[in-house]
Amino acid sequence: MNSSVGLFAASSGMKLSYVWDQATPEARVIIVVLMVFSVFAWMTMGYKALEMRRARRLNQVFEAEYRSQAALLDIFGRKLHVEGCPLFMVYQDGCSELDVRLNAPDGSRRRYLSLKAMEHVKRSLESTVAREALRLESGLVLLAVAVSGAPFLGLLGTVWGVMDTFGGIAMAAQAGGRADLQSMAPGVSAALITTVAGLLVAIPSMFGYNWLVHTLRVLTVQLDNFAQALASRMETEFLKDDE
């Protein structure tokens, strides 16, 4: 069985080598471009998957720590810094804005904030949520381009190769040569390889893109919910109702 698998692999390799030799220069250029696309797509999928996995894990750790604190500013007072944790960045920026608003111009410390000051703090939270969502989303456009553009690029190579093949057969026929399937097959098979290359780039990119978009949506909803809960807690602890 192992020998059969080896013969099949060798046969497939010889076929691909033959098709590559028959490909036009234009088709080879398109295949090389698609290979570059594939490398960058896989690198992007791997990097973003690790980034979002790390963000999700750090969010869980930070949320557990946040829920265990007695006062809202306990973690902020410890001057911690957690790189790559979206929830921490929302908490940090919101508490920084809150801390600034609590400091009076005369150097004293306010106990409560006015409704207007609290609105500024909430806008800071919303801005940080948007910034963190954009940070997590960065790089996904490359996968979107690979998903939508690679098949069309492969189709361009196929159409170009078929056109070139039929043009060569027509010229050979006018010169008294043969115009049969045997003379057409090498050129057509070489043309079709660009479509295969395009699909090999687009299909993994499509699955990776959809998974990453789903994970991004989950993280964004988590960010929104946390920001709302944080704003509600800020209002409970620091908003004076009569101001």
Q: With the C-alpha atoms ordered 165, 166, 168, 172, is the resulting torsion angle positive or negative? A: positive
CA-closest candidate to residue 228, choices 133, 137, 135, 121? 121
User: How many Å from the N-terminal Cα to the C-terminal Cα in the chain?
Assistant: 83
Cα(27)–Cα(163) distance, integer angstroms? 12
For the ranges 65-74, 75-84, 171-180, the lowest mean pLDDT is seen at 171-180
Distance of CA 234 to the CA centre of its chain: 34
Residue 165 clears pLDDT 90, i.e. is over it: no
Q: Is 50 exceeded by the pLDDT of residue 4?
A: no
Q: Which of 30-34, 56-60, 122-126 has the least mean pLDDT?
A: 30-34
Looking at per-residue pLDDT, the higher value among 207 and 196 belongs to 207
pLDDT digits (tens, 9 = 90+) for 176-192: 656 555 666 666 777 78
- Residue 14 tokens read as 């010889």
Q: Pick from 135, 133, 136, 140: which is nearest to 225 by CA?
A: 133
Using the predicted structure, report yes or no on whether residue 108 has a pLDDT greater than 60.
Answer: yes
pLDDT of 102 > 50? The answer is yes
Q: Say whether pLDDT at 158 is over 70.
A: yes
